[in-house]
């Protein structure tokens, strides 16, 4: 049981909540706590991930695209539509990003054997070697970020976030990848 006389350190969201409570005492701002903390954690984690990717001259979106192709399995090849659906970006954004990765020599467009009118995006040998190294460092970086939490707390956090995600994500009706 928690000792009510021991106060936990305050974070930036506590200050925001205090301001709202002062300015709008009539409004229950308690939902701002978890949402604000999730958003701040996401932004701060993204900064740490970006720093890790910089070691490989990668941005977060470049890592995501290469990792998506890599985890698709050999021959590490997907259609542009599958890629932009998995990465939740627009087709216009995908086109721009593919051109950039092609210029760097990390992906290539290859003919689609199932549909002669379309092409597929495939990791090049250089792209595969890069993502193999980068994903190992990425997992180590994530492990370091999370190492401040005891294992049982981390398991509970993961479980609770999975519950929230199940509620927020649209149901998988078989149409998405």
Q: Where are the alpha helices (DSSP H) in the chain?
A: 12-23, 32-54, 60-71, 80-87, 91-103, 125-146, 151-168
Domain ranges of the chain: 13-54, 58-138
Question: Distance between CA atoms of 106 and 65, rounded to whole angstroms?
Answer: 10
Is the distance from CB of 107 to CB of 69 less than 8 angstroms?
yes
Is CATH 1.50.10.10 what the domain over 58-138 is classified as, yes or no?
Answer: no
Q: What Rg do the C-alpha atoms of the chain give, in angstroms? A: 21
How many angstroms separate the Cα of 78 from the Cα of each of 18, 27, 72? Answer: 49, 49, 8
Q: What pLDDT does residue 112 have? A: 84
Question: Distance between CA atoms of 21 and 7, rounded to whole angstroms?
Answer: 19
Provide the whole-model pTM.
0.81
Place of tokens 């604000």: 36
- Backbone φ and ψ of 150, nearest 5°: -60, 150
76: left (phi over 0), alpha (psi -120 to 50) or beta: left
Question: Distance between CA atoms of 61 and 67, rounded to whole angstroms?
Answer: 10
3-class secondary-structure state, position 97: helix
Q: What pLDDT does residue 175 have? A: 43
Cis (ω within 30 of 0) for the bond into 83?
A: no
* pLDDT tens for the 177 residues of the chain, in order: 455 555 667 888 999 999 999 999 999 999 999 999 999 999 999 999 999 999 999 999 999 999 999 999 999 999 888 888 888 787 788 888 999 999 999 999 998 888 878 889 999 999 999 999 999 999 999 999 999 999 999 999 999 999 999 999 877 644 443
């Amino acid at each position: 049981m928690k000792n009510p006389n021991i106060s936990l350190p305050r974070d930036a969201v506590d200050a925001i909540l205090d301001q709202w409570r002062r300015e709008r005492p009539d409004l229950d701002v308690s939902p701002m706590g978890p949402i604000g903390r999730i958003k701040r954690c996401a932004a701060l984690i993204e900064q740490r991930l970006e720093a890790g990717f910089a070691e490989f001259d990668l941005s977060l979106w470049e890592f995501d695209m290469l990792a998506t192709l890599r985890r698709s399995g050999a021959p590490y090849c997907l259609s542009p539509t599958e890629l932009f659906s998995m990465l939740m970006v627009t087709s216009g954004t995908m086109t721009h990003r593919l051109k950039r990765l092609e210029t760097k020599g990390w992906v290539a467009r290859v003919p689609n054997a199932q549909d002669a009118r379309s092409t597929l995006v495939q990791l090049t040998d250089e792209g595969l070697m890069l993502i193999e190294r980068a994903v190992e460092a990425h997992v180590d970086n994530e492990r370091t970020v999370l190492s401040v939490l005891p294992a049982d707390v981390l398991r509970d956090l993961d479980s609770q976030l999975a519950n929230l995600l199940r509620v927020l994500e649209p149901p998988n009706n078989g149409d998405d990848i």
